[in-house]
Structure 1
């Protein structure tokens, strides 16, 4: 019963995957599963290419009582497979095999390899799409964080009683310093405008008393010199 169902399933799989299926024996074969991925709409223009669409090699081994028993499954990459930015068969193998368990359980007693291939392809593609979304979300969060930092330059510190008192004290201090500087500059300008202080002028008497001249004519109270003729007349009267 099991062998006949296995043969019939292999014939169906050959018609569906003529170029993808590769027989190892009557009970073991491999199917190449190529993922179909939509373009990454959220990727920036300068982002590096994520790589070619990944290919998964699904190895199926029939137990004697298949499909009453689950097939043995294994996953591997093709030889010399190019790396992909969001997917790695070796690293994602366990998660993908675990995701196929529900498909196997739902199809027990029936030919299930086609359903397994479909589920594998869908789960792997969704894994890549989810990782793209995570990267896009992180990129958006980083952009928003950078924007918030930039906006801080245009927003003042929130005013509280403490910040206001601190600002007031600083303002008054700066005003006092500015006033003192202005006063110093004003005094410096006045001193510069007056120039050096001139010595007071001496009268003729003061010059004679100090021995600065040999003989001077007596000056009146207004420091005006007396007329020489008038001085001679006064001398005759005496």
Structure 2
């Protein structure tokens, strides 16, 4: 009975995987399984999706006894950043145990292939998502650093006091510099304050009659007096 079921299943598999299945013997064959993956938006992956090869060998009592399974990569396969048959083999084979137990007594290889393919695609999807999250975190960290340039220090009583002291010190230094610059300019131009004569000095110099009565004799500049002397 087991032999008949094996031959029947093998014929069905030929019709399902005409190009993917290769016979090794009457009870042993291998099936090439190519994963179906969404397009890689980042361009980090090979143009061809990864492929794994499932080796199947029937024991005499299959399907009442579990098939003997193994996995290998195809020859000369390009490495894939998110999938490796050598590294993922044990996990993938363990993932088939429930499927095998649930289907014991029935032809199960098509179900095994389907489960294996889905599990491998899940691993790739999870790893892609992890890489995308890592990239997103790097971008967010860079954005946070950039945003720090546009945010001032939070105002607290302590920071305000420090700012006020610095501001007052800066204003005092600025005023001092401006005063020094003004004095330097005055010294450079040799500017002197006009000398003012008292009423007595005006009288002694004979200039009393030359000044209008409305003028305050205490505030007559020496320059004006000298001019009056010349005109007199």
Length-normalised TM-score, structure 2:
0.77
Task: Tell me if structure 1 keeps the 8 A contact 2:54–2:71.
Answer: yes
Task: Tell me if structure 1 keeps the 8 A contact 2:59–2:66.
Answer: yes
Q: Is 1:86 the equivalent of 2:82?
A: yes
Match of 1:62 in 2: 58
Match of 2:197 in 1: none
Q: Is 1:36 the equivalent of 2:32?
A: no
Q: Is 1:24 the equivalent of 2:24?
A: yes
Larger Rg: 1
Q: Is 1:165 the equivalent of 2:161?
A: yes
Among 48, 56, 75, the alignment partner of 2:71 is 75
- Cα distance in structure 2, aligned partners of 1:149 and 1:175: 33
The CA RMSD measured in Å over matched residues stands at 1.9
3-state secondary structure, aligned to 2:134: helix
Task: Tell me if structure 1 keeps the 8 A contact 2:33–2:117.
Answer: yes
Match of 1:191 in 2: 187
Q: Is 1:8 the equivalent of 2:47?
A: no
State the 1:4 CA deviation: 2.0
3-state secondary structure, aligned to 2:140: helix
Match of 1:178 in 2: 174
State the 1:195 CA deviation: 6.8
What are structure 1's unaligned runs of at least 5 residues?
Answer: 197-220, 223-238
- Cα distance in structure 1, aligned partners of 2:51 and 2:44: 20
- Cα distance in structure 2, aligned partners of 1:132 and 1:73: 28
- Cα distance in structure 2, aligned partners of 1:49 and 1:77: 17
What are structure 2's unaligned runs of at least 5 residues?
Answer: 193-203, 206-232
State the 1:112 CA deviation: 0.6
Query: Cα deviations across residues 76-122 of structure 1 (Å, max 9, x unaligned)?
Result: 01110112222111111112112211211211111110000011111
- Cα distance in structure 2, aligned partners of 1:72 and 1:33: 17
Match of 1:227 in 2: none
Among 111, 136, 148, the alignment partner of 2:132 is 136
3-state secondary structure, aligned to 2:107: coil
State the 1:50 CA deviation: 3.6
